[in-house]
Amino acid sequence: MYNSRQRMAEEDETQEPELSDKQKKEIAKWFLLNSPAGEIQYVAKDIRSVLNDDNVYNAAASEAFPLYNKSHMMCLKMPGKSEDVLVTSFGEIDENDYLDPRTAQVVTVDHVKQVCTEVRPASDEELPSPYIEDYRCALDAEIMKYVNEAYPKGICSVYCVRGKDVEEPGSDFELVVVISATRHSPQNFCNGSWRSVWNIEFKDEVQIMDVSGIVQVGAHYFEEGNVQLDAKHECKDSTLFQSPDDSAISLTNIIRHQETEYLAALQASYSNLPDTTFKDLRRKLPVTRTLFPWHNTLQFSLTRDITKELGIGK
């Protein structure tokens, strides 16, 4: 016969060990970083409640929010101004300061609250040379036209990420085009985002501009369920290195073409879901040992079957 002390000792041995604060922080950080577009504040509120430990939560939030904001290319309002600024790694000056190349200003960001707290003029060292700015500014203007046409709530920016001190032809440099568009409708249980990053290498010696792009599409539908889309597409192209205005038009046409084609492919793919993917999710031969007649689904009527079973209308 076991006495009570022996039973308690055995129960203690079978219990799961308590998670350390470091483990809790890493788990909380994972959930924050994997929050769907526009929903990190909701997730943070729930995590804070579950943890019931402000020290652990604050440690997780301070690490997760900056990474989340940059990866989702968060769009924030400048304090006291009508302009928006994108929070991206390409405009990052330090942990909390980000350059807006279009207005030549630097904003200070409170990552956890997701707001801009201060704004100041950018210094000369933080801006590209006049030669590079001609290319950056021309491309920015063309991309703005495209984004205004294609994305109702889109915002874009063009950064110089290499060779910003180049003063004249003869050297290579690199620009990055960032496009971010979101559609948040939590009252209708859905949120979505479109993020694209286009790296453009200006190769002076061969007079070629190499373009490589990454497009990420995310969507979350959560009415009485949890359905998420996370799609990613990569592509490459190239065109001739020309004057700032001509280069800007050529590059924008490439981006427009690639994004339009990818969007059309997405739409075609999801319109065919009932005939392809959804079929594959179902058992080929159900327990009734009878194949489902996908070729003639109209013969099935839930209302008719229920009426028959309940004897309604007889």
With respect to residue 154, please indicate whether it lies within any of the assigned structural domains: yes
Number of compact structural domains in the chain: 3
Question: Which residues have CB under 8 Å from 78's CB, separation 6+?
Answer: 84, 85, 100, 103, 105, 107, 116, 119
pLDDT exceeds 90 at position 63: yes
Dihedral angle, C-alpha 152, 104, 116, 180, nearest 10 °: 30
Same domain, 210 and 164: yes
Q: What is the mean pLDDT of the chain?
A: 87
Pick the last residue of a domain from 91, 125, 159. 125
pLDDT exceeds 80 at position 150: yes
Same domain, 205 and 246: yes
With respect to residue 284, please indicate whether it lies within any of the assigned structural domains: no
Same domain, 148 and 208: yes
Nearest to 176 by CA among 264, 278, 88, 67: 88
pLDDT, tens only, 220-242: 988 877 888 889 999 999 999 99
Q: What is the CATH number of the domain that holds 155?
A: 3.90.1150.210
Same domain, 233 and 108: no
With respect to residue 184, please indicate whether it lies within any of the assigned structural domains: yes
CA 290 to chain centre: 43
Q: What is the CATH number of the domain that holds 56?
A: 3.30.1140.60
Same domain, 106 and 119: yes
Question: Which residues have CB under 8 Å from 275's CB, separation 6+?
Answer: 294
What's residue 186's pLDDT?
85
pLDDT, tens only, 101-133: 999 999 999 999 999 999 999 999 999 999 999
The tally of CA atoms less than 13 A away on the side-chain side of residue 178 is: 23
pLDDT exceeds 90 at position 297: no
Q: In 50-69, which positions are buried (b, 16+ CB within 10 angstroms) versus exposed (e)?
A: ebeeeebbebbbebbbbebb
Confidence of residue 1 (pLDDT cuts 50, 70, 90): very low
> What is the span of the domain harbouring residue 132?
128-267
Count of CB atoms situated within 10 Å of the CB of 135: 25
pLDDT, tens only, 154-195: 999 999 999 999 999 999 999 999 999 998 888 888 899 999
Same domain, 118 and 142: no
